[in-house]
Amino acid sequence: MFIGLLGGSFNPIHNGHLHIANYVYNTLALDRVIFIPTGDPPHKPATSLASAQHRLKMAALATQACDFFAVDDREALSPTVSYSVDTVTHLKKEVPSGAELGFIIGLDAFLEFQSWKHAPHLLELCHMIVCSRPGVTFIQLQSMPLLPPTPISSLYELDQQHTSRLDIALPSGSSITLLSVPPCEISASHIREQKALHRPIAQWLPPSVESYIIQHKLYR
């Protein structure tokens, strides 16, 4: 069993998130993708961030029609900051014996991965699935000390979309899979901006999520 983990604020969850989850699910033959919304920042109100309860509910609505999608609420309901290494550690104890976890992450976030809490240990706990993102290139991974040497020509092929996948084996026995994902130009910040300006947002969201935003007067 191979289970994908897709974390994020999902503020709000949109068709771009679902596009990435579907692409990784099909490309890597995953058994399931678990969405993990982040919690509320402790001691610091974020005016543009909907509450964890709202974001959790929207994630549930967006994924409810898909049997291979699920939502995990542990970070959303946590009263303190959650770290990915802790979340993955707990999940490994809960999934069926022998199941592998794949941490789905955008290339822009992965370029800052070495600053994460216990980053080397997280690489040992699960496979990393790194998806292309606008504005950054896979060639930039050459400067990451946590990665084994990778031919620059292979990274260039990904950036030029001459190939769509590159697997990098790690000494720990896990791996990093680099995926050139077909672009889907949607951002949560743009959706929030358009909603605040009273402009239509239906084209970027599942209908159930749009209805929830309207009903609860979010992002006004």
Neighbour tally for 31: CB within 10 Å: 14
In 3D space, the residue among 172, 117, 177 whose CA is nearest the CA of residue 141 turns out to be 177
| Residue 213 included in any domain | no
| Residue 211 included in any domain | no
pLDDT per residue over 117-149, tens digit each?
A: 999 999 999 999 999 999 999 999 998 888 888
The CA distance from 51 to 25, in Å, is 28
Sequence-ordered alpha helix ranges (H) in the chain: 15-27, 52-63, 84-94, 107-110, 119-125, 152-159, 188-196, 207-215
pLDDT for residue 45: 56
| Residue 198 included in any domain | no
| Residue 218 included in any domain | no
- To 10 degrees, what angle do helices 52-63 and 15-27 make? 50
pLDDT class for 90, splitting at 50, 70, 90? very high
pLDDT class for 17, splitting at 50, 70, 90? very high
Mean pLDDT across the chain: 94
53 Cβ partners below 8 Å, 6+ apart? 76
Q: What percent of the chain has pLDDT over 70?
A: 97
Residue 97 has pLDDT above 70, yes or no: yes
Could you tell me the CATH number of the domain that includes residue 58?
3.40.50.620
| Residue 215 included in any domain | no
pLDDT per residue over 26-72, tens digit each?
A: 999 999 999 999 998 765 556 789 999 999 999 999 999 999 999 99
| Residue 207 included in any domain | no
Give CA torsion, residues 37, 43, 47, 49, to 10 deg: 0
| Residue 129 included in any domain | yes
pLDDT per residue over 168-197, tens digit each?
A: 999 888 999 999 999 888 999 999 999 999
Identify any residues that bridge with 103 across adjacent strands, giving them in sequence order: 5, 128
The CA distance from 188 to 7, in Å, is 14
Contact 209, 58 (CB under 8 A): yes
φ and ψ of 114, to 5 deg: -65, -15
The CA distance from 42 to 34, in Å, is 24
Q: What percent of the chain has pLDDT over 90?
A: 85
Neighbour tally for 146: CB within 10 Å: 14
* pTM metric for this prediction: 0.94
Number of domains in the chain: 1
The CA distance from 146 to 119, in Å, is 9
The CA distance from 88 to 166, in Å, is 23
| Residue 26 included in any domain | yes
Quote the domain boundaries for residue 51: 2-185
